[in-house]
Amino acid sequence: MRINVFWRFLILYVLLLVWPAGAVVLTESFDYPEGDLAGQGDATGGWGGAWEQAERGVVQVFAEFLNFGKITERGGILEVSEGGTTYRNLAELWADDGSVYWISMLYIRIDDIDVNDSYNGLSLFRGSTELLYIGKPWATRNLGLDGTGVGIDSSSGFDAYDGAWLVTKLVMTGDKTNDLAYLWIDPDPNVEPDTVDAAARVQWRGSNGFNRIRIGSGNPPDQAESFYDEIRIADTYAELTTTVKTAESTVAPQHHALFTNFPNPFNPATTISFVLAKSDYVNLDVFNIQGEKIKTLVSGVLPAGEHAVMWNGTDEFTNPAASGVYFCRLRSGSSTESRKMMLLK
């Protein structure tokens, strides 16, 4: 009996060693050259081909990052505006065979367009048929899901302008009945979220599976703008977070860079982050839309590495700035970069 038990444990141990470990099946960090996304990306890592910009509008990659404290990848982000739409095919059909699938992404809305006539988000497609929408649905300011369910919460109550790490669980029924989708905002990466605590949920028509995703924004004339990063599709929740990195980097930056402030839009304060490749004399200033300098945030020598400075929405005389568009400008050596900020009150 002891020998039998020993061999059973030995066999189980060997199976655990050789059993294929899970991996993120698809991931998109937009680690591409800055500019038009169309044609970028190879048919590898679960993708069926490059991104296609199928409709008019702007879909651009920028050398920035979105840091929401949960997922802090860096390499590039996607800005979608002016009714831009882009598609990408998956290498194979993700079937409705009773499986559970997970989707996550970083997202933030960055304009002040009327929310009733605009949308932003990621959609799942089967060919040319849209099945499920994740992001900011039509006619709401909140993050949520848009599906075919009736009487099920589709709005999360979380403001799309605040941005978030969106995590969606797809529960495939394996038959022709509607499938279920659950959405969480910034869940704990170390603990699989419970469907009971979902911020939004819908039924959706996933019975034929999905094989394509779309990032979309618009419609004209109210053409919404948003940032995206770290789109991931996996078989388990743990697979979404196995490649999570911290904001710290062991690789020295190759050049100075100014990142998007967070939150944006903001009220009453926002944090402006930047990185220096070497110690340098730095000026970080805030300007209004007329080009007038409102406030100097930094003026002096800073060491190489990452830096973060808060602007509390006041001018040099501590007077509150009015609602509107502002620009932060980083000057260091021969380098100058600017980013748009929006103060909402």
pLDDT band with cut points at 50, 70 and 90 for residue 63: confident
**Is 207 found in the same domain as 148?**
yes
Q: Please give the tally of structural domains in the chain.
A: 2
Distance, in Å, from the CA atom of 323 to the CA atom of 345, rounded to the nearest integer, reads: 6
First vs last C-alpha separation in the chain: 75
Show the domain range for 172: 21-241
Residue 6 lies in a domain: no
pLDDT at position 11: 45
pLDDT reading at 188 higher than 70? yes
* pLDDT digits 0-9 by tens, 117-136: 678 899 999 999 999 999 98
Q: Are residues 59 and 178 in the same domain?
A: yes
175 shares a domain with 61:
yes
3-state SS class at 196: helix
Interval 67-77 mean pLDDT: 71
Instruction: Indicate the residue type of 305.
Output: G
Examine the domain organization and report whether 273 and 234 are in the same domain: no
Q: Give percent of the chain above pLDDT 90.
A: 33
Answer yes or no: do 276 and 227 share one domain: no
Weakest mean pLDDT among 161-175, 214-228, 306-320: 214-228
pLDDT, tens digit, 9 for 90 and up, residues 136-146: 887 788 899 98
Q: Work out the pLDDT band at 295, boundaries 50, 70, 90.
A: very high
Q: In terms of Cα–Cα distance, which of 189, 175, 298, 310 is closest to 243?
A: 189
Q: pLDDT band for 20, please (50, 70, 90 cuts).
A: very low
Q: Say whether both 195 and 57 belong to one domain.
A: yes
> What number of other Cβ atoms are within 10 A of residue 264's Cβ?
23
Note whether 235 and 274 are same-domain residues.
Answer: no
- Least Cα distance to 344 among 322, 314, 327 occurs for 322
CATH number of residue 289's parent domain: 2.60.40.4070
User: Which residue has 């065979």 as its token pair?
Assistant: 97
In this structure, the answer to whether residues 182 and 274 fall within a common structural domain is no
What does the pLDDT look like over 273-282, one tens digit per residue?
Answer: 888 878 888 9
Tell whether 222 and 157 lie within a shared domain.
yes
CA distances from 322 to 131, 256, 280, 315, 345 (A): 42, 30, 32, 10, 8
Instruction: Assign 21 a pLDDT band (cuts: 50, 70, 90).
Output: very low
| Residue 79 belongs to domain with CATH number | 2.60.120.200
pLDDT of residue 285: 93
H/E stretch holding 14: helix 2-18
> pLDDT at residue 15 above 60?
no
% the chain with pLDDT above 70: 82
Span 94-116, average pLDDT: 86
Q: What is the structure's pLDDT at 222? A: 58
Q: Are residues 274 and 235 in the same domain?
A: no
Instruction: Report, as an integer, the average pLDDT of 87-107.
Output: 93
Higher pLDDT, 315 or 73: 315
Provide the mean pLDDT of the chain: 81
C-alpha triplet 320, 321, 326: angle, nearest 5°? 150
- Give which of 133, 299, 114, 145 is closest to 219, Cα–Cα: 114
Q: pLDDT, tens digit, for every residue of 243-285?
A: 654 333 334 445 577 877 877 788 888 888 888 878 888 999 9
Task: Look at residue 12 and tell me if it is in a domain.
Answer: no
Is 246:268 a contact under the CB 8 Å cutoff? no
User: Does residue 104 register a pLDDT over 60?
Assistant: yes
Q: Is the pTM of this model over 0.75?
A: no
